Amino acid sequence: MQPGDQIEVETAEEKIKGTYIPSPDSDTLIVKLPSGYNIGVSRKRIKSVKVMQHTTGAAKTAPAAPQALSKGLRKITILHTGGTIASKVDYRTGAVTARFTPEEILGMLPELTEIASIDSRLLSNMWSEDMRFAHYNAMAKEVAKEEGNGVDGVIVTHGTDTLHYSAAALAFALQGIGIPVIMVGSQRSSDRGSSDAALNLISAAYFISNSDFSGVAICMHETISDTTCLILPPAKTRKMHTSRRDAFRPINARPIARVDYAERKIGFMQAYQKRDRQRKPEPRLFKENLKIGILKAHPNLYPQEIEAYNGFDGLVIEGFALGHFPIDKVDEHTEIHKKNLEAIERLCGQMPVVMASQAIYGRLQMNVYSTGRDLQKAGVLGHLSDMTPETTFIKLAWLLSNYPKEKAAGLMTKNLIGEISERTEMDTFLT
């Protein structure tokens, strides 16, 4: 057997078909399954191994980025920011480090150069938890530069932890852009057999090359297997699992499209903005020194937690359910809740304070109970919003970067880029 051969392993219990992968353990045979996952089989259990098809040889290596351009294909630029998609495992320590170069990623995925004329370059090499407003601005400027250079689309590779924050940030900063800008991440590092990087990147490139979509979106696995990817709305998507390959789900919304690269099919699932090369808006960026906080409501909350945000420019409250917070005195143990309300009132006099729901799905309705009405009376915004807390945070920061405080407050509950659904649809829960 040679690495890459298609094999069938028979044990007393089952037959396993897949690709032979070298194992560091001589007692274990490793097979890459069609789903993309690897399975280890103890050699003591194996009755027989058949080679069904020999590998055709070493994998093709994609040309270096500047030479990857070819005639007759749409031009796509891949901008790399690091994260798991651009990482390797250090097998001495088990740690994952962000250290793949753009050329190495292209080399692993020669299919990309058959889909589009690819250029690829590094913007940064960082984990996504280290992103700041300055990095959103850098990405937006580079995307705008590529649009000005005449590319047909841009892929931004990004760590998954805050990919949904960055997608929303680019969607606000690049409103009206006439080409597709697709954010792509990976839950498993690119040198692992179970990596989702290949399908995510290939599907994003295929979507750009074979559709007329424009605007910012996310492309990630639809299921845990290497089957299809979803094109997801940038301000209505959230990472919902720490490690599953289908971790990114639309919240209070439907996916934009499904990409089935194996079948070479794209199926749109909602209306979308079509590309228009004449639209080249200037990026509307973030003020990099803004201080925007997120305060999570919880039992036994003290006013000092609220007062910690004195001096900030804005605050998002992750409230309970319909938009609630511990502000009511109901017995001798809740006397302190009156001070919570007073602290919120003081902050509302200094900055926009906006409610989002910890429930994630559904819509705020702050007129149902007295708690919500009292919070609105104190100045808390957000009534009827169905934005995620992350999108609420990004939108507040972007508004305060581009409008006076009073105008920004008034726009928080206005739908600008699809971040607030016009109506709540039953089939958008846990889709």
Residue 419, in any domain of the structure: no
Residue 257, in any domain of the structure: yes
- Which is higher by pLDDT, 351 or 90? 351
- What pLDDT, on the 0 to 100 scale, is given for residue 85? 63
Poorest-confidence range of 102-116, 308-322, 376-390, 404-418?
A: 102-116
CA distance 347 to 338: 15
Task: Give Cα separations from 321 to 228, 264, 326, 357, 360 (angstroms).
Answer: 33, 42, 12, 6, 9
Q: Does one domain contain both 195 and 110?
A: yes
Residue 104, in any domain of the structure: yes
CB 81 within 8 A of CB 135: yes
Task: Respond yes or no: is residue 431 known to be catalytic.
Answer: no
CA distance 334 to 332: 6
Poorest-confidence range of 12-21, 130-139, 188-197, 419-428?
A: 188-197
Q: Is the pLDDT of residue 398 over 60?
A: yes
CA distance 184 to 158: 6
Task: Respond yes or no: is residue 160 known to be catalytic.
Answer: yes
- What pLDDT, on the 0 to 100 scale, is given for residue 270? 95
Q: Does one domain contain both 239 and 381?
A: no
Q: Is the pLDDT of residue 21 over 90?
A: no
SS3 254: coil
Q: How many CB atoms lie within 10 A of CB 120?
A: 23
CATH number of the domain residue 139 falls in: 3.40.50.1170
SS3 351: coil
Number of domains in the chain: 3
Distance of CA 198 to the CA centre of its chain: 16
Residue 300, in any domain of the structure: yes
Poorest-confidence range of 194-198, 271-275, 292-296, 418-422?
A: 194-198
Give strand ranges (E) for 197-311.
Answer: 215-221, 229-232, 237-239, 248-250, 257-260, 265-268, 292-296
- Burial (Cβ within 10 Å: 0-12, 13-18, ≥19) of residue 193: middle
Residue 189, in any domain of the structure: yes
- What pLDDT, on the 0 to 100 scale, is given for residue 149? 94
Selection from 187, 196, 212 nearest residue 266 by Cα: 212
**Cα diameter, the chain:** 77
What is residue 300's DSSP assignment?
T
CA distance 200 to 269: 18
Q: Does one domain contain both 252 and 340?
A: no
Q: Is the pLDDT of residue 49 over 90?
A: yes
Q: Does one domain contain both 218 and 148?
A: yes
Which pLDDT band, with edges at 50, 70 and 90, does 58 fall under?
A: very low
Selection from 375, 302, 374 nearest residue 339 by Cα: 302
Catalytic residue chosen out of the listed positions 162, 239, 313, 428 = 239
CATH number of the domain residue 343 falls in: 3.40.50.40
Q: Does one domain contain both 340 and 259?
A: no
CB 291 within 8 A of CB 312: yes
- What pLDDT, on the 0 to 100 scale, is given for residue 266? 98
For residue 128, list its beta bridge partners: none
Of 226, 252, 268, the residue at which a domain comes to its end is 268
**Tens-place pLDDT, residues 145-169:** 999 999 999 999 999 999 999 999 9
Q: Does one domain contain both 228 and 112?
A: yes
- What pLDDT, on the 0 to 100 scale, is given for residue 69? 46
For residue 354, list its beta bridge partners: 316, 381
- What pLDDT, on the 0 to 100 scale, is given for residue 64? 41
Residue 427, in any domain of the structure: no
CA distance 261 to 265: 6
Residue 404, in any domain of the structure: yes
Q: Does one domain contain both 208 and 251?
A: yes
CA distance 86 to 81: 8
- What pLDDT, on the 0 to 100 scale, is given for residue 59? 41
Of 268, 301, 330, the residue at which a domain comes to its end is 268
Task: Respond yes or no: is residue 161 known to be catalytic.
Answer: yes
Which pLDDT band, with edges at 50, 70 and 90, does 71 fall under?
A: low
Strand (E) or helix (H) holding 184: strand 180-184
CATH number of the domain residue 27 falls in: 2.30.30.520
Catalytic residue chosen out of the listed positions 19, 77, 84, 392 = 84
Q: Does one domain contain both 96 and 119?
A: yes
Locate tokens 């938009």: which residue?
323
Containing structural domain, residue 303: 292-411
Joined together, the tokens standing for residue 197 give 């990087």
74 phi and psi angles, rounded to 5 deg = -65, 150
Q: Does one domain contain both 217 and 120?
A: yes
Q: Does one domain contain both 32 and 74?
A: no
Q: Does one domain contain both 42 and 86?
A: no
**Tens-place pLDDT, residues 295-341:** 999 999 999 999 999 999 999 999 999 999 999 999 999 999 999 99
Residue 58, in any domain of the structure: no
- What pLDDT, on the 0 to 100 scale, is given for residue 82? 75
CB 248 within 8 A of CB 234: no
CB 337 within 8 A of CB 329: yes
- What pLDDT, on the 0 to 100 scale, is given for residue 66? 41
Task: Respond yes or no: is residue 413 known to be catalytic.
Answer: no
**Tens-place pLDDT, residues 214-227:** 999 999 999 999 89
Tell me the mean pLDDT in the region 402-415.
98
For residue 231, list its beta bridge partners: 219, 257
Selection from 303, 297, 399 nearest residue 356 by Cα: 297
CB 73 within 8 A of CB 210: no
Catalytic residue chosen out of the listed positions 161, 191, 260, 328 = 161
Q: Does one domain contain both 264 and 364?
A: no
CA distance 214 to 216: 7
CA distance 145 to 154: 11
- What pLDDT, on the 0 to 100 scale, is given for residue 68? 42
CB 4 within 8 A of CB 30: no
92-102 core/surface letters (b: 16 or more CB in 10 A; e: else) = eeeebebebbb
CA distance 1 to 395: 55
* pTM of the predicted model over 0.85: no
